[in-house]
Each structure stands twice: as structure tokens, then as C-alpha cells.
Structure 1
Amino acid sequence: MTKYVLKRLLHGLISSIIVVGIVMVMIYTMLDRNLIFAQDPVFKNLGNNEKTAYMYRTWEEYGYIDLFSYQDYLLMLQENGEIDEETRKSVSTIGRKPESDKPETAAYIQKYQDYCDANGYTVVRLNAVMVSPKKYANGGKEQLFASKDLPIAHRLITYVTGFFSVDNIHYVDKDIDIGERKLTFTLHDPVYGGNKFAPAIIGNGTYHKYLLYVDDKFPFIHQNVLTINLGKSYAVNAGVDVSETMVKKQGSYVLRSITFPTGLTEESADDLHTAVFVANSRETNKVNADRFTDDYTGVNTVKSGKSKMGYSFTIGIIAVFLSYLIGIPMGIAMAKNKDKLIDKIGTVYIVFIIAVPSLAYIFLFKAIGGKLGLPTTFDMESSSKLIYVLPIISLSLQSIGALMRWLRRYMIDQMNSDYVKFARSGGLTEGEIFRKHILKNASIPIVHGIPGGILGALVGAIVTERVYTVPGAGNLLTVAISMYDNGVIVGVTLFYALLSVISLVMGDVLISIVDPRINYSGKAR
């Protein structure tokens, strides 16, 4: 069994990477890259050369191209010892047009052109746009840079190799003076004033200040040593990784008395355990200087609501439980009373769920629920649990119908099997035949879907969450597609693929437990 599980997981991982590769091919080769600016307010307000330069910078952020500016080239020459800082500064300013370049500058621009040609870059020079001999047009300053498209294989390798990142004391640039780089273990976390038993590992030189800490929130022990990087968002949640977007809490700020490292105490929503290094943040911000003793000033805030995944999972897992609680007894009852009243009623429900589009019956039940006084719009600030009722019911309707349908079918097939006839002739009662044989065999396909239902609750339901405005993970992919946010699209795709693989493997393991006759080892039992 262990060998089978590991083999399936390995094959599933390879398949997931292939899926990500296919998605990358679709995004970066089949879609017009200019579409990412359709909803970009910054792009719309720029003009002339600055608009073009912004396009190239954004394409680089989205992973389409690699940019290499003239200034980057001069810095490279300085770092290699080919020119000194004074020379770099003297040739760094280009003319408004090529003929306006100083002779020394023109020579280095030609070297830059030759270097770019040799390394596959295409040089882009934008001449100055003037409204008068001495005045630039809006965004009209001259530009000089080069770009080359990144191959899909390079993007895929970079993405896969960067999936995990391990924090360490060498994260902060070596040129920044931060004192001794080290990890410190303490039994008394300074966040609690040092007067509470709370083990923690604190870093200096790391990205996160707290690499390990304990608090009273599930799962109680938290770590920042190993980070999963699904892909950075550029539009949906700018600058934030997809994994953080899905697990970060939402809602209003939760204010409480906080004592900062400098000793300052005030009402704040800051979570000091999330502090990350932000270079020179105390020098540029007096508020940070008043609160912190070092540049670990980037903190998240504590909020009252759940995360996107939290809302989706809460609704999804209850819907799964409700589906099995209702669907299985109904399916059994329909099979045992074939062609009788309860079977006909169940069949009507199944036909209704199959025939009517999910969007239609969700709106129907939303209208009915509204007439009964149930909340029809999700409100994170509401303390009433009734806001969950309609989304849960709407999400479970289809699953209940599917369970009823398939369990009835499997059970009726089993009832007509030869082994059931032999069991009757052997003197077993109908109850014994039903419990020991029919129900057990018929439940095997149903059991296989349980892990998928549970893990699927993590990704949410697109239609249900949109109808009831649930701030969950369900519509994250659709929003990312509409905003052409490549990082989120790729990240969510990989997340879905990995969950599918895990649920399939867990389903195989589960049915082998339910039915010992199923053997994955290849050996007869």
C-alpha cells in the first residue's frame, strides 16, 4: 500500500507540473499580453514614453519578459571593474535623440547594443517627446532599455524550484548593518512582555522576525521557516502570494492593547508575530521609529473575520456533511422501496437537480430563503450564524441528488446480483443480506468520493459564493482570469491540481480499508 501511495503521489505531482506548464503556455502564448492593462488605472493615466516603459516593466512583473536597461548595463560594468563610478555617472544620461548623445555616451550605448544583440535582447530606444524646445510632453522623457521574452521552460523551472522557500539569517543584504546574524530561542516570548511561558525562535538577518512561536490560536504552534510560494498576485491582491491571499483573515480590525518593542503601549490591530524585515523603515517613517527597535516593522493586522479559505471550508464541510446525512438514507430508502412513493419523490428531486441549471435553482432557493427572513447576502461583520444557511443549502442540493442517484443505482444493481440470490438460498435474512453485502458493496464508489468532498471544500464554490457574495476562495480563479493576473491563475491551478491528486489517493486508500478485497500491492490476499 505504501509503495502504491508514493507512486500515485509522484505521478500526481508530475501531472500537476504538466498542467501548470500547459496553463503557462496558454497564458503566455495564446493570450494578448496587452489585455492585462484593460483595468489598470495607472496605465490609463500615463502618456507617451512613460506609458510604453510602464508596459515593459509590467510585462516583466507578470513574467512575460526579462528587462535589461542601459543603467543596469553600466552598473554591471562598474561591478566588474571595467569602469569607475565617475565614468558611470558621466555616461548614464542619454540624449533626447541618438544624434544628441555625447561622443563618450554614444560609445557606451553602442557597446550596450552589441551586448544585448549577443545575449538575445531587443533594444528599445524612445526619443524624447517635446511640447516646446525646452519642455517635455507629459511622460515624454527619453528612454533606453532592452527586453527578451522568457521561454516557457524557464518560467516553469523557476516556478517549481521556487515553490518552497526556507528563511535563514542571510536573507538581509550583507551590506546592511543589522548587528549579529543569529537565531535566538526563548521560553518567554517578548510579545507577551517576557512574563508568560511561550516558547519562540527569533531571528536576526532573517526575513521573518519570528520563525517559530506559540499562541492561543489554532493550530497553536506557528512557523515561518518554510513558506509555500504559489505565485505573487499583481492585480487581485497586489504584491501578496496566492497562499497568503487564501489564508489571510478578512473583516474589521481587532484593536487591543499592544506593547511594542520600544515599550510604547497603545490600542492597535498589529500582529507583532508577523513582523518581517523592511530595510530603512525606521529612518523613513517616524511611526516605525517610535514603535520598533529594528527594521522588522512590516506586520499584518488582526481582523475579525475568517480567511477566504476559512469561509469556503466552513460552508463546504458543513454542506458535505449535510449531503451525506440526507443523501445516503434517501438513496437507501429509494433502493429498498423501488417504484414506490418515496422512490418516485426522490426521482423527481434528482431529475429537478439534473435538469435545472445550478444558477437557476440557487437563485430560486435564495428567493425562498429571503421570503422566510433568512439573510441573502453574506456579511462578515454579522454575528448571526444564519448567514451561512442559504449558501450551505444551495451548495448541498446537487450533492444530495448525486448521492441519492448513485447509491440507489449501485444498490439495485447489487440486489440483482447472483451472490444475493445464493445468500437468500443459504438462509440469510433480507436484513443480513442488506447490511453485510448489498450496502457494503454499493457504498464503495460513494466512499471513494469522501476525501474529494472534504478537500474540495477548501477551494470553495464559484457560483454559490458569487450569488451570496461570500468572501471565499471559490471565485478567486475567476476574478484572476478577468483581471489577467497570471500569478494567481497559475497558483490556484496548481493548488486545485494538488488537491485533486491527494483526494484521489486518499479515496483509493479509504476504499481499501472499507473493502479488504481491494488490494493495491499486486499480491493476492
Structure 2
Amino acid sequence: MLKYTAKRLVQSLITLFIIITIVFSLMRLMPVEGYFQNFDKLDKNQIHTALQSMGLLDPLPIQLKNFYLQILHGSLGNSMIYRPNVPVMEIIGSKAPVSIFMGLASMAIALLLGLPLGTAMARGKSGFWDKFGTAFIVFITAVPAAVYYLLVQLYFTDWFGLPILFSAANPVSWVLPTVSLSLGNIAYYAMWLRRYMVDELNKDYIRLARAKGVDSKSIMKNHVFRNAFVPMVQYLPTSLLYTIAGSIYIESLYSVPGMGGLLVNVIQRQDNNMVQALVLIYSAVGIVGLLLGDVLMNLMDPRISFVKKGGAR
């Protein structure tokens, strides 16, 4: 296990290195306006001098080396337009707590509703809950997320008298964006748990347990659910980290001052340093999520081996 974790950690670092290199190189192709607050008021000599002072006229390998040294010192540079000369990490640090709290709350809702729904669908195939869950999953899967987010915002504010926009000072205003953020994961968890549980129910050891007189409730709880949940564990860290990082659309829709809305804002303002930093953070989140997923799945079921022949990845 330790050997595999170390191997995956090295692979993750290499992948992150490649992503940083590509993103950094692509950002150097962006217009230089993204490095100036008052670009239109500057002449060519002023622009050239400023770019030179920022090291943006150095050869790309030198710029990349300096950027990696900057990262090792815990810095992602300063914002140029969104909040001029303010460190990127300071800006993100003020936005991250909102996204983290909302993300954790939405994940809790998704687990509390998605797992029981998937279990009920598997236990009563073709029954009410199976039909209800299937209809919900098809709706969430087939309809663009932007559409049902708007439907939630439009009708729930009217039916339940909930605020249409977010306010950190008003706890009730957290409800709609949090619920909206959980819908996709509810459908995802219910769909895959049902599939895994139905697959387990058709295996020989379940038939043997039933033949021996083991009651259905015990079979579902101690065997079917437990074994079906193991492969799902692999995807929980990734979905959790992405949710915590913030939903770009939802945070913009409800004016939530989190990381997702921040990314939209800095792209619109063409703040190149901020865009670069946020893209790298989202990339790192995805890589860490995949690594934690494999480790967590092995901890849940020690029989799974990623290093032995037949179980390698």
C-alpha cells in the first residue's frame, strides 16, 4: 500500500508539473492587457518597461523556472486588475471559506439523500422508489444543469419565500445554492449505488446466503451495500474536492463570493495572473482527488491491490 501510494504521489507530481508547464506557456500567448490596470493610458515604452520589470520579456524557460521558484516559496503572484498588487493567495484565502462551507454542506445533502435513494431503488426494482429515482436521474442527466439551476432559483424563491441572491449574513440565503449544488451528486450517487447493488444481488454468494436462510435485511446491509459502496468510494474525494472548490455557474447565478464566481470574474476582467492561479488550483484539486480515491478504496477493502498482477493500474 505504501509503495503504491508513493508511486501514485510521484505520478501525480509529474502530472501536475506537466499541467503547470502547459497552462503557464498558454497564458503567455494571452494579450498583455491582462497584466495592466490602465493599459489604454500607457504608451509602448511604458508597456515595454513594465513587462520587462515583471520578467515577461525573458525567454520562456527562464520565466517558467522563476514561476516554479515562486510556487516553492508559496506564492502565485499578485493580481493585476481584479485587486491590483494584492497577492493571489490572499484573495483566494478570503473566498475559499465560503466555497468550502457550501461544498461540504452540499456533499452532506448528496450523501444523505443519494445513498438511501440508490439503496431503495435497488431493493425495490420496478417499484415506486425505483421509478421515482430513475425519473430524477434521467432529468438531472438529460437536462442541462443551467436549466434546472434556473428552475430551482425561479420556483423555490416563489414557493418557499427564499432569497434569490446569496448573503453571508443571512443563513436562509445559503439554502438554494447549496441544494442546487447537491442535485448532480444526488443523482450520481443514487445511479451508481443502484447499479453496483443490483450487480451484487445477482452474484452467487448472495444466492447462497438466501439459501441458508439469511434474512434479506441482513444481506442488504452487511453484504450488498457494503460491497457496492467500495467502488463508489474511489470517486468521493474527487467530487468532494471539486464541490468544495466551488461551482462556477452556481456561484455566479446566486452572487456567491466564492472561488467559482471569482474565476468567472477574473476571466471577464482578463486578469491573467488570477486566471492562471485558479486554473492551476482546480487542476491540483482534480489530481489530489484521484489519488485520495484510490487510497481510500484500498483502505475500505484491503483485498484490493493496485500493485499485484491483475490489479495494477
Does TM, normalized by the shorter one, top 0.5?
yes
Q: State yes or no: 1:54 paired with 2:46.
A: yes
TM-score norm. by structure 1 comes to 0.55
Mapped to 1, the partners of 2:89 and 2:200 lie a distance apart of: 45
Number of the residue aligned with 1:7: 7
Number of the residue aligned with 1:477: 263
Instruction: Quickly say closer, same or farther: Cα 1:63–1:351, change in 2 above 3 A.
Output: farther
Of the candidates 94, 106, 119, which is equivalent to residue 332 of structure 1?
Answer: 119
Q: State yes or no: 1:45 paired with 2:37.
A: no
Of the candidates 232, 235, 251, which is equivalent to residue 78 of structure 2?
Answer: 232
Mapped to 2, the partners of 1:16 and 1:476 lie a distance apart of: 22
Number of the residue aligned with 2:201: 415
Number of the residue aligned with 1:255: none
Of the candidates 33, 36, 43, which is equivalent to residue 34 of structure 2?
Answer: 36
Partner secondary structure for residue 162 of structure 1: helix
Number of the residue aligned with 1:433: 219
Number of the residue aligned with 1:162: 70
Mapped to 2, the partners of 1:516 and 1:479 lie a distance apart of: 45
Mapped to 2, the partners of 1:324 and 1:523 lie a distance apart of: 34
Mapped to 1, the partners of 2:293 and 2:132 lie a distance apart of: 31
Mapped to 2, the partners of 1:442 and 1:338 lie a distance apart of: 16
Deviations 1:3-25 (A, max 9, x none): 22222112111111100111122
How far 1:502 moved relative to its partner?
2.1
> 1:62 touches 1:486 (CA, 8 Å); kept in 2?
no
Mapped to 2, the partners of 1:161 and 1:458 lie a distance apart of: 28
Task: Using CA pairs under 8 Å that are at least 6 residues apart, name the structure with larger relative contact order, 1 or 2.
Answer: 2
Partner secondary structure for residue 475 of structure 1: helix
How far 1:62 moved relative to its partner?
6.0
Number of the residue aligned with 1:144: none
Mapped to 2, the partners of 1:230 and 1:458 lie a distance apart of: 20
> 2:96 touches 2:258 (CA, 8 Å); kept in 1?
yes
How far 1:34 moved relative to its partner?
4.7
> 2:136 touches 2:187 (CA, 8 Å); kept in 1?
yes
One-letter amino acid matched to 1:459: A
| 1:388-403 matched pairs, under 5 angstroms | 388-403=174-189
Aligned length: 309
Mapped to 2, the partners of 1:515 and 1:20 lie a distance apart of: 34
Instruction: Quickly say closer, same or farther: Cα 1:44–1:506, change in 2 above 3 A.
Output: same
Partner secondary structure for residue 260 of structure 2: coil
Q: Which has the larger radius of gyration?
A: 1
Mapped to 2, the partners of 1:25 and 1:516 lie a distance apart of: 42
Mapped to 2, the partners of 1:369 and 1:353 lie a distance apart of: 17
Instruction: Quickly say closer, same or farther: Cα 1:326–1:395, change in 2 above 3 A.
Output: same
How far 1:235 moved relative to its partner?
1.6
How far 1:353 moved relative to its partner?
0.8
Mapped to 2, the partners of 1:497 and 1:12 lie a distance apart of: 11
Segment drifting more, 515-524 vs 497-506: 515-524
Instruction: Quickly say closer, same or farther: Cα 1:326–1:34, change in 2 above 3 A.
Output: same
Partner secondary structure for residue 512 of structure 1: helix
**Aligned residues: percent identity?**
34
> 1:62 touches 1:234 (CA, 8 Å); kept in 2?
no
Partner secondary structure for residue 38 of structure 2: helix
Partner secondary structure for residue 338 of structure 1: coil
Instruction: Quickly say closer, same or farther: Cα 1:485–1:41, change in 2 above 3 A.
Output: closer
Number of the residue aligned with 1:244: 90
Mapped to 2, the partners of 1:17 and 1:232 lie a distance apart of: 21
Of the candidates 133, 137, 143, which is equivalent to residue 346 of structure 1?
Answer: 133
Segment drifting more, 357-366 vs 484-493: 484-493
TM-score norm. by structure 2 comes to 0.91
How far 1:492 moved relative to its partner?
1.7
Number of the residue aligned with 1:265: none
One-letter amino acid matched to 2:260: G
Number of the residue aligned with 1:512: 298
Mapped to 2, the partners of 1:60 and 1:480 lie a distance apart of: 23
Instruction: Quickly say closer, same or farther: Cα 1:327–1:419, change in 2 above 3 A.
Output: same
Q: 5+ residue gaps in structure 2?
A: none
Mapped to 1, the partners of 2:103 and 2:132 lie a distance apart of: 26
Instruction: Quickly say closer, same or farther: Cα 1:336–1:159, change in 2 above 3 A.
Output: same
Q: 5+ residue gaps in structure 1?
A: 67-149, 166-227, 248-306
